[in-house]
Amino acid sequence: MSKKLGVTIVVIVATCAVPAHVQAASDADVTCSPGVLCAESTVITEHNVGNIRFHVGSTTVGECTVGDLRGTLTAVSSSGFEGNIETTALSGTGTGGECTGSFGDFTFIGNVGNGTPWCMRALATMNADEIQIRGNSCSLSSRSITFILNSTTAKECKYNRVPAVVGSYSTNDSDAKISFTNAAFSLESGGILCPSTVEVDMSMTLEKATTPQTTDPLNIS
């Protein structure tokens, strides 16, 4: 599987501004080699672990077997990181590499409306092992996230989410893993065959892109 993935992570360190009795819950060190923080502007990629699942409650309505995201770290410190997800590419076992679903094979489109870039971040002000994705670049004001599932039968189903997607990251793994479960998106536009709400489950490894085809592991501690 091609290890391409786009991720972006920004750091807000409030150590000096926080009273002594308040302790930050999260301390996310992202390292590109043992004990060495990744540099800002590091190109990062993410690829899926297991299928990416779209579901309505317990019913799976779509699955993609390959997920490739790519982005750039924009801020890194000893207590957090932030970066921009710039491209998203999902594919599956359907016709022409499309993802498969109960409403027909479909294509995931992530660059329309409030599509990419998206900001991925783990900050000192968050809970332990928490990571978030919100709409827009990390340097700009937050906005919603939108994407389209374009299927053979339901046609274009456009989904939107205003709050940031909240997930978790694993620590001290050779390949850092980021997971999101039951991230709900509401139908913004589409026909009667489009589910009114879909939830997304995905787990991705986070890696440093050394060339367009090769990657090195990242670690979060």
Mean pLDDT, consecutive 10-residue stretches, the chain (221 aa), reads 34 32 60 89 94 97 96 92 96 97 94 96 92 97 97 94 95 84 98 96 92 80 82
What is the spatial distance between Cα 190 and Cα 212, in angstroms, rounded to a whole number?
35
Amino acid at 80: G
What is the spatial distance between Cα 127 and Cα 134, in angstroms, rounded to a whole number?
16
User: Number of C-alpha atoms within 13 angstroms, CB side, residue 139?
Assistant: 4
What is the spatial distance between Cα 80 and Cα 125, in angstroms, rounded to a whole number?
9
What tens digit of pLDDT does each residue of 19-54 get?
333 334 557 888 888 889 999 999 999 999 999 999
Report the pLDDT value the prediction gives residue 133, as an integer from 0 to 100: 97
Contact yes or no for 103/151 (Cβ under 8 A): yes
